[in-house]
Amino acid sequence: MLKDRIREVRHQLRLNQTQLGNKLGVTQRTICRWEVGFIPRGKHLQKLVEIGGVEPRWVILGQGEPLKIRVTGKELLSMPLGELKALINRAEEALRTRRRLALPTEKE
């Protein structure tokens, strides 16, 4: 459920509700309400995705992998071919998901 994924992101960031609220521009009470089942506004979900480094599809729909794909060039060069292919497939799926959900792609 969305409320559980919000809590999971907060725990992964090692933040309490007040700290996460400060980063998102909302109160601790608002975070508490989200974690018991109230639905956040889209702009707050987008900011949670950015701060948490998680995939929007996972946060919103509970589908796919929770973590964004972040790999350095050095890691790519030393990666076995099978892992590299799997990583490319995950990246392509993440991009297709962003397009379907009309979410902005990352700017580098």
**Is the pTM higher than 0.85?**
no
Positive/negative CA dihedral, 54, 56, 57, 60: positive
- Which domains does the chain possess? 2-100 (1.10.260.40)
Q: At what angle do helices 28-35 and 2-12 cross, to 10 degrees?
A: 130
| pLDDT given at position 72 | 65
Place of tokens 């480094």: 53
Q: Going by C-beta distance under 8 Å and a sequence separation of 6 or more, which residues neighbour residue 35?
A: 3, 6, 7, 10, 17
pLDDT tens per residue across span 31-52: 999 999 999 998 999 899 888 8
Distance CA 99, CA 105 (A): 8
